[in-house]
Amino acid sequence: MSHNPGRLLAFPDPDHLTLSIRAKALVFSDPRSQHLLERIERVAATEATVLIIGETGTGKELVARHIHEHSGRKGPFVAVNCGAFNETLVEAELFGHESGAFTGAQQARAGWFETANGGTLFLDEIGDLPLSLQVRLLRVLQERQVVRIGSRKPIPLDVRLVAATNIELEKAVNAGHFRLDLYYRLNVAQLRLPPLRERRGDILPLVHHFIERYRAKLHLDHARVTPAAAQALTAYDWPGNIRELENVVHFGLIMCHDGVLDVGDLRLPGFGRKAAGRDASIADDPLQGLQEALARLLASPHEPVYETVERLLVTSAFHHCDDNQVRSAKRLGISRNILRAQLKRFGLLDADVAALADAHDAAYP
């Protein structure tokens, strides 16, 4: 089946990503996406602060990276998920701290702003930032300098800020959860990323990209999508956007026979087993469907089965809970420490972030 791949944005090493990552690839094949790419590159050439608005999994960080790469800035690109930390950790990570500034701060550490000096700082889920820190962030943006926790010495900054959110900040302002002056400061150049259901021309190019990515990992000599599966993939609304699409393709390749991805291999409501003419009761009972999938996986030559299922369970739960460790651990019925160990093991949690979180938990049990 022919398809127009369009422009592709992807991470250079997608298997070693921190917990801030959502979509791992983004294409600009659909006409609406091509128009968006033109706007992105026009904005990138300026020094304007950028606010990216889009649902979870639409590729906001990839857009932010593309802005940095086309900005001419020589400094680093630093990505931060504001919703992944509690208030104490966010403040220390954003602005840095001196040795002894708080319990567990055994040595001085530069914050994200300092680390991104000369480059671009990407703050994802900016709407989750506590009001007290919004005040400090506004001051840093106005004064172009930062003061570490436990210090009085200002550090000059040359940082371009790109912020992103999956909520309407205007509503958050009206509800008293977000400062109006900070919203105006961030909303200089606004980019809205349409959800995948509004740019269906990007779906099949993404499917082919993820097939090629996972085919080698699953030791498949070849892989293809049947016309019926392609139709189902294009027709589905993708509430989880690109991240959900990647998970569906990955799991479908695990479940399919001889590298042929058919409708029955997809976990899509309204398609899957019902569309393939199988027992509807299996599609309506997720545990029964899971039991059948496990039986097929055990009968396949794929190895190792336990690690594959464990990785898929932890990854799916983490993404389902929007990369929130507390909600993920609760949904899985395990402790946060056990979850954190698994996230580090599967490359979903940055080691430095995990160490700081462990130190904070020890200091504030």
Convert the pLDDT of each residue in 119-151 to its tens digit.
999 999 999 888 988 998 999 999 999 888 877
Per-domain residue ranges for the chain? Answer: 45-194, 309-363
Residue 271 has pLDDT above 80, yes or no: no
- Distance between CA atoms of residues 231 and 233, nearest Å: 5
- With cut-offs at 50, 70 and 90, classify the pLDDT of residue 275: very low
- With cut-offs at 50, 70 and 90, classify the pLDDT of residue 350: low
Q: What is the mean pLDDT of residues 241-256?
A: 90
Q: What is the mean pLDDT of residues 186-208?
A: 95
pLDDT of amino acid 354: 54
- Distance between CA atoms of residues 125 and 20, nearest Å: 10
Q: Does the domain formed by 45-194 have CATH 3.40.50.300?
A: yes
- With cut-offs at 50, 70 and 90, classify the pLDDT of residue 54: very high
Q: What is the mean pLDDT of residues 324-349?
A: 85
Q: Distance between terminal CA atoms of the chain?
A: 56
Pair of tokens at residue 119: 């480059």
Cis peptide bond N-terminal to 304, omega within 30: yes
pLDDT of amino acid 95: 84
- Distance between CA atoms of residues 224 and 260, nearest Å: 5
Pair of tokens at residue 29: 């094949």
- Distance between CA atoms of residues 4 and 278, nearest Å: 33
Q: Does the domain formed by 309-363 have CATH 3.40.50.1970?
A: no
Q: Residue 164 forms beta bridges with which residues?
A: 52
- Distance between CA atoms of residues 111 and 120, nearest Å: 13
Residue 154 has pLDDT above 70, yes or no: yes
pLDDT of amino acid 169: 92
- Distance between CA atoms of residues 195 and 318, nearest Å: 20
pLDDT of amino acid 356: 55
- The residue among 279 and 306 whose pLDDT is bigger is 306
DSSP string, 52-119: EE--TTS-HHHHHHHHHHTTT--S-EEEEEGGGS-HHHHHHHHH-B-TTSSTT--S-B--HHHHTTTS
User: pTM value?
Assistant: 0.72
pLDDT of amino acid 92: 82
Indicate the length of the chain as a whole number.
365
- Distance between CA atoms of residues 32 and 147, nearest Å: 42
pLDDT of amino acid 342: 87
- The residue among 348 and 79 whose pLDDT is bigger is 79
Neighbours of 238 (CB within 10 A): 22
**CA atoms in the 13 A half-sphere facing the CB of 74:** 0
